[in-house]
Structure 1
Amino acid sequence: MDAVVSKSPVTPFSLKDAPSLIERVWPAQKISVEAQKERKAVKGQTLTGLGSYWKGRKPLILVRACVLGALLPSTGNDEEDLAVFEALCGLSDDQVRERFKLSLTIDEIKAFATPEQLSALFEQNDNQLAKFRKMTRKERNDLMSAVIARMPYQARVERLLRPEEVDEETLTSEQLPWVNEHLGTNANSLSELIEQIGIMRFGARPRIGDVFCGGGSIPFEAARLGCDAYASDLNPIACMLTWGALNVIGAPSKRRKALEIAEKSLLVSIDEEITALGIEHDSKGNRAKAYLYCLETRCPQTGWMVPMSPSWVISRSKKVIAVLIPDQANKRYEIEVRTAQDAAEFESALKGTIQGGRLVHEVGGEVFATPVKSLRGDRKGSNGETVTNIRPWEKGDFAPRPSDLFQERLYAIQWITKETLRKPRQTTFFTSVRPEDEAREHKVHEFVEANLTSWQAQGLVPDMSISPGEKTSEMIRTRGWTRWHHAFTPRDYIIIASLLKNNHEAEIGVLIPSLLNHASKLCQWATTNAPLDADGKQAGGARDLPNHVFYNQAFNTFWNYASRASNFLLRDIVVTKEVPTATIRGQGQVSNTSALALADRSDIFITDPPYADAVHYHEISEFFIAWLRKRPPEPFKHWTWDSRRPLAIKGDGEDFRKGMVDAYKAMADHMPDNGLQIVMFTHQDAGVWGDMAQIFWGAGLRVMAAWYIATETTSELKKGGYVQGTVILVLRKRKDGEHGYKDEVVQEVKVEVADQIDTMAGLNQSLKGHGRIENLFEDADLQMAGYAAALRVLTKYTTIDGVDMTKEALRPRVKGERGLVAEIIEFAVQVANEHMVPEGMSPKVWGQLTGSERFFFKMMDVEEAGAKKLDNYQNFSRAFRVPKYDDLMGSTVPNEARLKSAKEFKKAGFEGTEFGSSKSRAMLFAIYEIQNDVDSDDVLSHLHDLIPDYFNVRDDLISLADYIAKKRANLDEAEARAAAILHGLIRNERFG
């Protein structure tokens, strides 16, 4: 990481007091498109190779945009300022050529090309496009790039490389001359430009700080741009990942070559040890790839030992199954692995011996079912937590004792054929457990038994206890595991101990947690339906394999699990093949300290802090810390190898608020008066946003700007307060705060929230030459952005109604207390809701609906657009304060969620709820009656009875009936037709 020294004669501090671009204008929608593209790359993301188990990294393009937005000045010419920003970010129309990746289809070219471009690309025959003209690849790519630049931005980026995938000089060199002219700089590279702007703002190359560095995306991208970066985290695994981003992905080519030699030597050493033990090769020379295990227990009703698995399918594509064969004499089952004889046998194998939380098996034609909870003896303990009869394992245990409730049994092995061991494309097959396999398994147990104590003393195998917690208690309760090595197989001990003993490179050590993520009894066996090709191999590569531990953020125990053999497991430490490269242009410093212990100054702090639904990294990381704490790689030996749970800032409560105030005050105290803080924050709970306002008050900070970025790709696994994106809050030190009164502040919040939502809904549309962008934001996102707008107003005040808001922020809260800030934040919610008028409904009618009615009609609008995510209904039920939204739902299946139809409501649901007594419910009943051929006069009469103020709201009813008819036209033709009839009945109703 060689420093870049600028020789430019720029004037130090000439931009000291200039507002930053991000405080005035920022192309949030364009950044959103790029961020989502990066997210969709999944394992192709630059930092994911260091460890996919760390889920909280923000996209690098978002970090890049924050750094540049904070450094670049706002000159007052928004158009030119944005052009400079986009050019340096790699988002400019002029950079499509450098980012070109995929050609367009003929139909796409016809849709977006100019006549001149069509003529240049195609030969014409009778005025029809015939075929592509002959030209060089460069000529065709240049023409394609020009056409791509005319496409809507979402469609465009699908054809392009991500900015981080393009060489920096290639991406920005042509832009620098006019950028220099605009900024008054004289740089020959982007990193030199960054340094010059830093000198103009802060008197030196800018330093970016992140005290919650996590997976390292913020310090990595800052250093890659040419800033100096300071990173710290309480968690040593986070620090190691950040160090790895700078020193593994950012390793110079010479160091990469040295690592390639070192890793080859390491893999040879481990392979020689494993081979010498004779535990992975069979008598024919085939080598194991994976071992499949299941638990086994004695059925209390029959006395039989029963293997436990929810399914006995081993390979869906190859139709390989495990078949239980009764052994009457020994009251147990042999397990035969074979190809299913027919479809019926395969279907039968899909149903295992664990069904609906019960152990199920058949003896003598009779089916016996025993609840697993009964087997374990689940009951409430004295402290209210569930306890069981499972024996707690001890330090020297590595397998169940014969008397334990659950035994562990090897039931299948996946092999690589001897002939394809050294080939890139290997052939695999499955076998039952043969006597020779049992002998090798026995040898593994004997070897571990002889060495475990010594390994634990040397730090080669963990002896660290599993502390009870939100995520960790599951393993203790359901398996009796009390120490971390209990969660791994004896084979894992041998492989990982050999790795730790033979490795001497810190860069390889950084990848050990990634390897651990693919080891242990917490790896479920995964099989897919990928078809076989002509050679009998799975298309796209083998998909029968052990899953990784952290496919979600929990410790999931399984009835059947899988363990990787050494050659398969060790793939995760191959630095030179699996991990991408990047050039680090700034200096990076990583410190394993708490945010509260900050001692180094930074010009700009960019943080992605913990918050109310944060991942429990302080617990999850103990899975890795247990293996590394006694033998950490050399650069990390002075770190504290403990999760330090008591010191971790938890995601809610008084401790969360106090910890965050202290952290952000420490950052404010360690930045210059013209410094900035950028906070990336995601949550949809008004209470949490109220906390954030008080945190910033307490830290002496003021929100200057708030932007909303749609960073996340959708996932039906997400529940609760999850939304599509991230709010970017821009803060400065609060100097001379304003004094205000609640009534004034409330009105200011109203204006600010409305303006925020209107801006987001059409951002960039009025700017020339920045690409057409469809609105990316869902209404749940717009509502969350309303919270941020409220913070922008609130935090500029020092006192409100004579109350010192800084002191108020630091005051401990009484549980359930609802103060001034909470009231104003909740008001912001209502303003946001009023702004989320569905398309096709008048604001006047919308303003008179109750919360449950708004929910119903808003979701009708969402359904018309084709959305079926349960998340949408959950988020909007919170937004409109509908506590029992499921009463209004026809389905709550995650991928098929929908509202009830009028026919499904029938005559029920009139009593006891806000919606039941509403005019909307009455209208649905009228629509139901029309569908059931009730006389028109009776329909209107019933409607009069159900709506006491019928004549006062008649115009609203006409509008709502028309709305329902239009929204249901393509989803429920019968309901739409009935709503249209009701619309006519009410409108043409005669009186007198």
Structure 2
Amino acid sequence: MTDIKIPKKLIEVALPLDDINAAAAREKSIRHGHPSTLHLWWARRPLAAARAVIFAQMVNDPGYQREIGYGVNKQEAEKKREKLFDIIRDLVKWENTNNEEVLNRARDAIWESWRETCHLNRNHPQANELFNPEKLPAFHDPFAGGGAIPLEAQRLGLESYATDLNPVAVMINKAMIEIPPRFEGREPVNSLGRETRQANLVNDWSGYKGLAEDVRRYGGWVRDRAYEQIGDLYPDLEVTEAMASGRDDLTDYVGSKVKVIAWLWARTVKSPNPAFNDISVPLASSFVLSNKKGQEAYIEPTIYDRQYKFEVRRGDIPQGAKKGTKAARGANFTCVLSGTPITGDYVKEQGQKGQMSSKLMAIVAEGKKGRIFLSPNQEAEDVARSANPNWIPETPIAPDKRALWTPSYGLETYGDLFTARQLVALETFADLLKEVTELAFADAKKAGMQDDGLKLHEGGRGCTAFGEAIAVYLGFALSKLSDSCNTIVTWKPSMNQAIHMFTRQAIPMTWDYVEPNVFAGSMGDFSVTLNNMMRVLDKEIGKISTGTVCQQDAATQKVSINKVISTDPPYYDNIGYADLSDFFYVWMRKSLRGVYPQLFATMAVPKAEELVATPYRHGSKDAAESFFLEGMTRAIENLAGSGHPGFPISIYYAFKQSETKGGSTSNTGWETFLEAVISAGLAIDGTWPMRTEMGNRMIGSGTNALASSVVLICQKRKIGIGTLSRRQFQRELRAEMPEALEAMIGGESGQTPIAPVDLAQAAIGPGMAIYSKYDAVLNQDGSKMSVHDALILINKEITEFLNPDAGSYDTDTLFCSDWFDQYGWSQGEFGIADTLARAKGTSVEGVREAGVVEAGAGKVRLLRWEDMPTGWDPKTDNRVPVWEACHHIIRELNQRGEAAAGALLARMPEQGEAIRQLAYHLYTLCERKKWAEDARAYNELITAWHAVVEASIEVGHKDEQIGLDF
């Protein structure tokens, strides 16, 4: 297929990166209705980033026409490219997620590019198979995970395929991209619970609103049946006079019953003090219930007769209550009775012997004007202990001490993470799903839905599949409920509510925990969980094409053949999601095994094939790295050989840790991943840093400020290119990198500059494009150059390009740059400064007169931007080094904003390019030296540069108009 004509895609040339990153960062704060709320998955790609990448991957870059002899000049290409940028800018906005006008513009652009490509290849022998102008290629994500990428492919009009080895990920994708299109536009079939119908849905059952409404109604039925069966385990609480004693806030409640929201418990162990070793004492990290102003409440342990009890108090919180019985970091506590230290080793020993128990500390109830806190009573504790589960998940928790901490304390199976009452509740909901499946089937048939006799896993779209689809979403509600109903859930006093377990990629050990009421109408309630989920089907999935999801190992799957591929694979030694997702799998298997028998055939999530370098699983760090490299190479090799030849492959890689050595960015996982990509036969055409997880935290204190994700743009490497010597590689870098870097930092007209914080990663693209297009780059001794060494050389070219000595900077700026490199903002000896100044062709007195240094008493120091005088005017200054101009612009930007900085730039427009490049250089220098705050200032200047330039142009136009008017 060497004669296939492949136009370059937009993503191989340029992207409006700042707009994509801003939208991705904003999306992180959106929760209600976001597809991520359908079910938890870790490190899910933002929809904005996924949508932009797939679009740019599919549309032709306007400049390609010049390459094949079409009459398009550079300026025309830039204008057309800017139109595509505008589509992306609209496409990534959250409010446009389902904006059909915006989406249709994107779909039209994709179709236009596709038909251009088909026309170019109309005479190819496989034109009918590969280049059908009436049918877009399908899409495939072989590491589908949370499903964001295949969902966005559907949104852009592509038939979407998603595969993953993990059954939980497979189910999430089915619930998002496969099941909804089968029941699009249907009215609800359940006549129950009409009061739950929203007013704006009365006559509008478009999209998946009818399906969502049915799920809510059947969910209400399940909740009601569950309450009939186990409601006695969740009784209302009568407020007694004893409870209200000394509590003015409870006077009006005495004799009445209140609905319990949650019970707060503390784990206990036998006291290590021999005098009290028959008594279980609490391990409580805090006794604070509420620290909201005016609502302060806390727990006080009262000691009596070698015993203790918990009582809730109101008012100012004592210092001791804030730390509970915690003595230090880790599992170190103090005996509440004797003050004897309780060490972490002792707690582990007690847990592993099965002697860790729990004691009720407080009860949270719904009051007339908000939540009230009540002292515990024996009756409430007895009710909880009366629960007797029939089924307990016995799946062991993996011994991965990086993320799974409970086994060290005796909680070794997933069943150990739940109270008896929680196990009974979750089991009850799971068992009711079989009944609700039959009920939904009968209602659908009665409502006139056809029955094709096919089950959901067989591709059914009729009554049988509909009943099972209802069970799937209710099974998701149960799975999500388990995240809120377990003994790792904690209480947050500042919010007066429980916080679910998975606040990070770990199952930590907690000491005081919350047991929510699953029928209370708040966090941890089955119906609340379900209703929050259904906002996704109601509003945010939108109009999507068909989708197909199946369980496949990426290294052996055959789904990718002739499909567009974008994927987000596992990240080297990141947390193993297979281990974490066992928590959800045990409940999904309990409730949905009848719907997807093959998917839930195993007792736990498959782990042997998971492509993560997990040392505990493979015996050593080296063995884990070898496993990852070999497995990822096989998986990417599979993609390289089967993807559609008309499109590049986009692969996400997420950075988790980094180090700086010799001025270059180094990351073992990153280098190992690049090695796998290149070994698999792919050439890397581009690397786009995407800030999809870090929000506004642009620079980490003392660390390299890596983007949260880098998207690699890859093509299958051409056969027979041959090898390249190290010297030739360096020569090609010097020849090609400057042009690529100039384009990235905004040298081309209209191009938005890449922020300095992202430049090092973006510049890897053109550098690795040279390295990866050859079979190998050979060192002087004939050995193959490693990716690590190639990255060092690429970073060296970036540094040299940005170095002022390589440009035409004035002598004062050259002095300041070298002085800053050596001393930063600190003082240095006058003699050293004098020697350096003479070497650069200036003098200390000259740079002092220029207003950039302070010199006196034998010392010299650079002036920081905030030290520079306000009201400075370059028009009246007869000596304006670029250094001075740059830092005055920073001062204006920081103190008065973009408009003021632009007004100042308008007074010296000829300095603009030099200011911008100096800021890049100084950012790189600061980042290398780990001067985080200083680096931030230069990064912010470049990030705002486009707006500053626009403001300067506007000022210039106003000045011209004033001249004309005069």
The alpha carbon displacement at 1:346 in A equals 4.2
Query: Who is 1:407 aligned against?
Result: 357
The alpha carbon displacement at 1:527 in A equals 1.9
Query: Who is 2:298 aligned against?
Result: 322
In 2: Cα distance, 1:857 partner to 1:654 partner: 43
Instruction: Give the one of 377, 381, 387 matched to 1:447.
Output: 387
In 1: Cα distance, 2:579 partner to 2:809 partner: 48
In 2: Cα distance, 1:447 partner to 1:177 partner: 60
Q: Describe the shift of the 1:615–1:182 C-alpha distance in structure 2 as closer, same or farther (beyond 3 A).
A: closer
TM-score (norm 1): 0.65
Query: Who is 1:582 aligned against?
Result: 541
In 2: Cα distance, 1:838 partner to 1:359 partner: 58
Q: Describe the shift of the 1:326–1:488 C-alpha distance in structure 2 as closer, same or farther (beyond 3 A).
A: same
Query: Who is 2:196 aligned against?
Result: none
Query: Who is 1:57 aligned against?
Result: 44
The alpha carbon displacement at 1:967 in A equals 5.4
DSSP 3-state at the match of 1:368: coil
In 2: Cα distance, 1:707 partner to 1:701 partner: 17
Contact 1:293-1:411 at 8 Å conserved across structures: yes
Query: Who is 2:95 aligned against?
Result: 162
DSSP 3-state at the match of 1:566: coil
DSSP 3-state at the match of 2:386: helix
Tell me whether 1:709 sits opposite 2:690 in the alignment: yes
Instruction: Give the one of 659, 677, 686 matched to 1:696.
Output: 677
Q: Describe the shift of the 1:470–1:439 C-alpha distance in structure 2 as closer, same or farther (beyond 3 A).
A: closer
Deviations 1:502-532 (A, max 9, x none): 124112223433222222111121121xxxx
Query: Who is 2:964 aligned against?
Result: none
In 2: Cα distance, 1:697 partner to 1:576 partner: 43
DSSP 3-state at the match of 2:398: coil
Query: Who is 2:312 aligned against?
Result: 337
In 2: Cα distance, 1:842 partner to 1:440 partner: 81
Q: Describe the shift of the 1:201–1:465 C-alpha distance in structure 2 as closer, same or farther (beyond 3 A).
A: same
Query: Who is 1:987 aligned against?
Result: none
Q: Describe the shift of the 1:392–1:184 C-alpha distance in structure 2 as closer, same or farther (beyond 3 A).
A: closer
Tell me whether 1:598 sits opposite 2:560 in the alignment: no
In 2: Cα distance, 1:674 partner to 1:658 partner: 27
Query: Who is 1:566 aligned against?
Result: 518
TM-score (norm 2): 0.67
Amino acid at match of 1:920: Y
DSSP 3-state at the match of 1:762: coil
Query: Who is 1:638 aligned against?
Result: 598
Deviations 1:25-52 (A, max 9, x none): 33223322322222332x146212113x
Deviations 1:312-351 (A, max 9, x none): 110111544334344331x2321111212xx3x4444223
Tell me whether 1:552 sits opposite 2:511 in the alignment: no
In 1: Cα distance, 2:598 partner to 2:77 partner: 48
Matches within 5 A, 1:432-581: 432-441=375-384, 445-448=385-388, 452=389, 454-455=390-391, 461-471=392-402, 473-477=404-408, 479-503=409-433, 504=437, 505-528=471-494, 543-567=495-519, 568=522, 569=524, 570=526, 571-574=528-531, 575-577=533-535, 580-581=539-540
In 1: Cα distance, 2:230 partner to 2:20 partner: 49
DSSP 3-state at the match of 1:747: helix
Contact 1:87-1:172 at 8 Å conserved across structures: no
Amino acid at match of 1:676: P
Deviations 1:375-403 (A, max 9, x none): 33xxxxxxxxxxx523537xxxxxx5xxx
Contact 1:518-1:547 at 8 Å conserved across structures: yes
In 2: Cα distance, 1:554 partner to 1:433 partner: 31
Contact 2:35-2:541 at 8 Å conserved across structures: no
Deviations 1:649-695 (A, max 9, x none): 11461211111110011112222433431112233534444333432
**Amino-acid identity (%):** 19
Query: Who is 2:328 aligned against?
Result: 356
Query: Who is 2:864 aligned against?
Result: 968
Q: Describe the shift of the 1:31–1:488 C-alpha distance in structure 2 as closer, same or farther (beyond 3 A).
A: same
- Structure 2 gaps, min length 5: 64-75, 118-126, 187-210, 240-255, 438-470, 614-623, 659-665, 855-859, 870-882, 884-966
DSSP 3-state at the match of 2:583: helix
Contact 1:16-1:201 at 8 Å conserved across structures: no
Instruction: Give the one of 728, 737, 744 matched to 1:760.
Output: 744
Contact 2:51-2:153 at 8 Å conserved across structures: yes
Q: Describe the shift of the 1:955–1:290 C-alpha distance in structure 2 as closer, same or farther (beyond 3 A).
A: farther
The alpha carbon displacement at 1:957 in A equals 8.4
In 2: Cα distance, 1:839 partner to 1:415 partner: 70
Deviations 1:127-176 (A, max 9, x none): xxxxxxxxxxxxxxxxxxxxxxxxxxxxxx9xx75320x431x3356898
Contact 1:90-1:172 at 8 Å conserved across structures: no
Amino acid at match of 2:303: D
Deviations 1:560-617 (A, max 9, x none): 1112111232122234346544234322111112101212224211011122353321
In 1: Cα distance, 2:11 partner to 2:853 partner: 44
Instruction: Give the one of 216, 222, 246 matched to 1:266.
Output: 222
Query: Who is 2:652 aligned against?
Result: 680
In 2: Cα distance, 1:839 partner to 1:550 partner: 51
DSSP 3-state at the match of 2:506: coil
DSSP 3-state at the match of 1:522: coil
In 1: Cα distance, 2:812 partner to 2:43 partner: 38
Contact 2:9-2:647 at 8 Å conserved across structures: no
In 2: Cα distance, 1:845 partner to 1:555 partner: 58
Amino acid at match of 1:446: S
The alpha carbon displacement at 1:372 in A equals 2.2
My pick for the range that moved more, 77-86 or 678-687, is 77-86
Query: Who is 1:647 aligned against?
Result: 609
Q: Describe the shift of the 1:299–1:833 C-alpha distance in structure 2 as closer, same or farther (beyond 3 A).
A: farther
Give the CA RMSD over aligned residues.
4.3
Deviations 1:445-504 (A, max 9, x none): 2332xxx3x32xxxxx31111221144552111x21111111112221122111111124
In 1: Cα distance, 2:737 partner to 2:714 partner: 18
DSSP 3-state at the match of 1:214: coil
Amino acid at match of 2:149: I
Query: Who is 1:777 aligned against?
Result: 755
Query: Who is 1:431 aligned against?
Result: 374
In 1: Cα distance, 2:257 partner to 2:291 partner: 26
The alpha carbon displacement at 1:633 in A equals 4.9
Q: Describe the shift of the 1:306–1:839 C-alpha distance in structure 2 as closer, same or farther (beyond 3 A).
A: farther
The alpha carbon displacement at 1:790 in A equals 2.4
DSSP 3-state at the match of 1:679: strand
Query: Who is 1:107 aligned against?
Result: none
Instruction: Give the one of 50, 58, 61 matched to 1:71.
Output: 58
In 2: Cα distance, 1:957 partner to 1:655 partner: 59
Deviations 1:885-928 (A, max 9, x none): xxxxxxxxxxxxxxxxxxxxxxxxxxxxxxxxxx539x94x56x
In 1: Cα distance, 2:218 partner to 2:744 partner: 51
The alpha carbon displacement at 1:88 in A equals 4.9
Q: Describe the shift of the 1:415–1:967 C-alpha distance in structure 2 as closer, same or farther (beyond 3 A).
A: farther
Contact 1:324-1:336 at 8 Å conserved across structures: yes
Contact 2:216-2:530 at 8 Å conserved across structures: no
Deviations 1:99-124 (A, max 9, x none): xxxxxxxxxxxxxxxxxxxxxxxxxx
Query: Who is 2:21 aligned against?
Result: 32
